[in-house]
Structure 1
Amino acid sequence: MISWVWGGLLFAVVVLQVVVIWSIRRHRDPALRIDSDARIDELMPSLAGLTLGTAVGGNRVEVLENGAFFEVLLARIGAARRSVHFETFLWKDGQLGRRLAGALIERARAGLQVRVLLDAQGSKGVGKDVVRQMREAGCHLKFFHERSFRNIGVLNDRDHRKIVVIDGREAFVGGHCIVDSWLGDAEDHQHFSDVSVQLHGPIVHSLQGAFSENWAGETGELFLGDDVFPKLEPAGDVLIHAVFAKPENSAPTVKILHHTAICVARKRIWIQNPYFIPEPDAIDAFGAAVRRGVDVRVLMPSTSGSDNPMVQHAGHRNFEKLLKNGVRLFEYPHTLLHQKIMTVDGVWSAIGSSNFDDRSFETNDEISLSILDQGLAERLDAVFERYVQRAEEIELEAWQRRGWVHKLKDNAFYLLNELL
């Protein structure tokens, strides 16, 4: 009897500890409300302010798709003269990983400051030999939130950002991961689609600051000087602000950005995202947008095209409500569409690392760029139009007739939507 009592007390203590840890790390999730008649092209100062940033002009943006991204990235790393800062979530040992490691090793041996920040969970397959070789060459390589007792309260918090900053003068942001599946041109199931952007201009300082945030958190090192924060002259005419802050007492800024953009759209919202599991308030916001005449479309991979079919099934759970609200849904069956893009009214774009789900909007460290430029929005909409030609549109009546096994999977996996 006494052993049962002690066992029960021990179980209660463990449960209490789990609840305390969960509550400490849990971000507030307020129901966001917006009342505005202004167009999104008039709201950049508001979007930047609400997301704890500042919109800066004078930037140039170039779109890089699929495997071609890496040819540009590797060439620019090879041309670096002072510093290379690299941050990513997913790195698996392979042809691409070894090429990238070789480029970083070469720059470190040339005497440059090379800092590499990898998520401990996403990059656990980077390869011990690769890590050893990089460190021996002088690369400063750290893992974000390694499994340890001191990190027990943050093990679910992952660094999902993809940022590269070279010489403090140019940067890359987007969705590309360091896995061989990202090579090629999305021609089949073994070669994924993705979009990143190359940036020049004053916005690079903001991206260097985003890298510094997690680097300082893991290492305590604060870097400064012209090697990393040089004076930046205008390089174009694009207005941008970077969104990455995750305050403890409010909704994360990537969530605020996307929700606000949906609520102020007047003409159209086109979304490309691999993991689309909107929360109820986002679904309501989409419905309100449709009712005021906004063309809302979402392009995503199907379960056969996804690298994680469970996520697609979790998203399916709310398809019926979305369709009844007038949202048009398209699934691409041929390969994984991994780009994280939203355009609004043909003039504004969000692009970065953030998926459209609870994990990205509530838990992960993410980065999105809010960009006001009609030319860029048109370029990203052209990507949407190219892939949607081979996608399958989901129709409400046919969707309601899907089998009970499919429905069971949808509802079962949705229970895990904050962990997927």
Structure 2
Amino acid sequence: MLTTLIGTLVVMLHVAGVLAAMHAVMNTRTPQGAFAWALGLVLLPYVTLVPYLYLGRSRFHGYVDLHRLRREQMQTLANTQLSAGPAAPGACARYGEIAHMLGAQFHEGQQLRLLVNGEATFNAILRVIGEARHCVLVQFFIIHDDLLGRRLQQVLLERVRAGVEVCVLYDGIGSHALPHQFVQTLQDAGVHIHPFATQRRSNRFQLNFRNHRKIVVVDGTRGFVGGLNVGDEYLGMKPPLSPWRDTHLEIEGPAVADLQRSFAEDWHWVTGALPPLRPARPGPGSAHTLIVATGPADRQETCSLFFVAAIHAARRRLWITTPYFVPDQAVMSALRLAVFRGVDVRVLIPSRPDHHAVFLASGLYAHDAVRAGIRVFRYQPGFVHEKVLLVDDDTASVGSMNLDNRSFRLNFEIGALSVDRDFASQVEAMLQEDFEHAHEVTEAEYLKAPYLRRLAMHVARLFDPVL
């Protein structure tokens, strides 16, 4: 009897695995991902079936329909309240395909402030929020109920009690540990706060399509974007990853209107309404800035294409920092071609893991990169989480995008691509110091690693479509 029951269960698992494999073949975005899921589901449904329920879904019709069918309508409503000023005239032609792909534009006259660590970032964010007079828009992937989270909570409570309208979005997956009481305290005071999810009905099996964006806009005039979330670890207060190395950006000028538009699109999906929006002021600076908002609901794989286009634009120098170096074939090919053009291509990655599987896969990609002539460095003092790109002497990007499949195809991301020699020189100085605190990866790192570690690297890379 027991044997019959076990046999029936095994057959049912294999049937379910085959059905799930058919779903994966029809719906997974990449052939590599479809093959990896299908193979695992057919051969090892006992191991892969449950993870597929959580990670395998690649379509979310509700959000896609809203994003594509109502986006223009929502932006028309937003545009009645936002005025972003004229487009930058011809100064950014090298990146015209990125702007065209995103339906966005470069804005001239931005004043940019590079924020090179967590302390500088949150001192600036909390100070500017504390000066708010009309409205505050806040969006983070992770908000923790710790010292930094409570500092943010207090400044938001102070502003809403002063009559400022405050709207907060946090990702329901990234902030899964955020206590209900933390949220309730803000709601009771009058803060509008909601978790982001791609489906309005809760789906406990849906872990993909995370909103990885980090946006703060105050009174429509000052905006922040970058790699930092709200948590003590981002201030370097949690070993063994401390000190935490990250970068954020403060923007003042017409491009802030596009940060508001991105926030408004996500807010509209969650609430069905627009947040308070205010026109951005003419910028007092010299930078031309394009807000790059990408996501899995776009018709194109906009994040991957953004990196490909930016890499192809490089003629002298291309420096990239990323915590997760798991590039797809298009990005890796673009990096190789940049080397053949004589570009100084450097990639800065961590020397310590926060996600072991990704770290192992990154090590193998680093080896492949070094063999292709790409210089790869491992940051030594702590964990490097910054997402920065420097092109030649005049262009830099600061944002939330990693060089991995999640950012390319599964996450909602945002960054700011800026063309300005003064700003690029600041980014160059910052990255130069980072490289001085790193050691260069050689082929020996892989070749001298124990066999089992090298095997683990190759196994991890098999799963890079879902890492």
TM category (shorter chain) comes to 0.7 to 0.9
Contact residue 56 and residue 203 of structure 1 kept, 8 A: yes
Q: Do 1:314 and 1:411's aligned partners in 2 also have CA atoms closer than 8 Å?
A: yes
Query: Structure 2 vs 1, CA of residues 195 and 15 (structure 1 numbering), >3 Å: closer, same or farther?
Result: same
Matches within 5 A, 1:316-395: 316-395=363-442
1:279-305, Cα deviation, whole Å (9 max, x unpaired): 122222111111110110001111xx3
Distance, in Å, in 1 between the alignment partners of 2:134 and 2:164 is: 5
Q: 1:128 aligns with which of 176, 180, 183?
A: 180
- The aligned amino acid for 1:90 is I
Asked if 1:256 corresponds to 2:256, the answer is no
Does the CA-based 8 Å contact 1:158-1:364 persist in structure 2? yes
Deviates more, 1:156-165 or 1:102-111: 102-111
User: What amino acid maps onto 2:326 in structure 1?
Assistant: I
* Inter-partner Cα distance in structure 1 for 2:226 and 2:431: 16
* Matched residue type, 2:170: L
Output the CA distance in 2 between the equivalents of 1:377 and 1:186: 31
CA gap of 1:156–1:194, structure 2 versus 1, over 3 A, is same
Q: Structure 1 counterpart of 2:442, which letter? A: E
Q: Could you tell me which of 83, 103, 124 is aligned with 1:52? A: 103
Pick closer, same or farther for the CA change 1:247–1:411 going to 2, 3 Å. Answer: closer
* 1:144 counterpart letter in structure 2: F
Q: 2:257 aligns with which of 185, 205, 214?
A: 205
Distance 1:91 1:193 in 2: 18
Aligned: 1:117 with 2:169 = yes
Deviation at 1:20, TM superposition (A): 4.0
Match of 2:246 in 1: 194
- Greater shift in the superposed pair: 406-415 or 10-19: 10-19
CA displacement 1:41-87 (0-9 Å, x = unmatched): 54233331123211111211101121121111111111101111110
**CA offsets, 1:344-392, max 9 Å, x none?**
1121111100111111011100002111111111211212111211211
Can you give the 5+ residue segments of structure 1 that lack an aligned partner in the other structure? 30-38
Q: CA offset at residue 310 of structure 1?
A: 2.6
CA distance in 2, matches of 1:285, 1:40: 23
2:90 aligned with 1:43: no
Q: RMSD in angstroms over aligned alpha carbons?
A: 2.9
Identity of aligned residues (%): 32
Task: Report the residue type matching 2:116 in the other structure.
Answer: E
Q: Is the 8 A contact 2:227 2:400 kept in 1?
A: yes
SS at match of 2:458: helix
Q: How does 1:223-372 map to 2 (within 5 A)?
A: 223=275, 228-246=277-295, 248=297, 250-302=299-351, 305-372=352-419
Q: What's the counterpart of residue 34 of structure 1?
A: none
Which residue number corresponds to residue 217 of structure 2?
A: 165
Task: Return 43-52 or 375-384, whichever deviates more.
Answer: 43-52
Q: 1:2 to 1:314 in 2, by over 3 A?
A: closer
3-state SS of 1:130 partner: helix
TM-score between both structures, scaled by the size of structure 1: 0.88
- Give, in whole Å, the separation in 1 of the partners of 2:393 and 2:199: 44
Q: Call closer, same or farther: CA 1:28–1:71 in 2, change over 3 Å.
A: farther
Deviation, 1:232, is: 2.1
How far apart, in 2, do the equivalents of 1:153 and 1:239 lie? 42
Cα offset, 1:205, TM superposition: 0.5
Which residue of 2 is the match for residue 63 of structure 1?
114
Structure 2 length as normaliser, TM-score?
A: 0.80
The answer to whether the 8 A contact 1:84-1:165 is kept is: yes
Q: Do 1:160 and 1:365's aligned partners in 2 also have CA atoms closer than 8 Å?
A: yes
CA deviation string 1:131-158 (max 9, x = no partner): 1111111111111128986547853110
Query: Which of 202-211 and 151-160 deviates more?
Result: 151-160
Counterpart of 1:298, as a letter, is V
| Secondary structure of 1:317 counterpart | helix
Correspondence 1:219 to 2:271 = yes
Gapped regions of structure 2 (runs ≥ 5): 33-89
**SS of the residue 2:244 aligns to:** coil
Tell me, yes or no, if the aligned pair for 1:28 and 1:249 is still in contact at 8 Å: no
Secondary structure of residue in 1 paired with 2:384:
coil
Q: Tell me, yes or no, if the aligned pair for 1:121 and 1:146 is still in contact at 8 Å.
A: no
Per-residue CA shift, 1:224-265, capped at 9, x if unaligned? 5xxx22252232121111111436464332221111111221
Equivalence for 2:156:
104
Cα 1:52–1:321 shift into 2, 3 Å: same
The separation in 2 between residues aligned to 1:154 and 1:187, in whole angstroms, is 30
State which of 191, 195, 206 in structure 2 corresponds to 1:139. 191
C-alpha distance after superposition, 1:384-420 (max 9, x if no partner): 1112112111112453222212212212222332333
Give the equivalent residue in structure 1 for 2:447: 400
In structure 2, do the counterparts of structure 1 residues 288 and 132 end up closer, same or farther at CA, with 3 Å as the change threshold?
Answer: same
More helix by share: 2
Name the count of aligned residue pairs.
Answer: 406
Q: In the alignment, residue 330 of structure 2 is paired with which amino acid?
A: D
Structure 1 CA distance, aligned partners of 2:268 and 2:460? 36
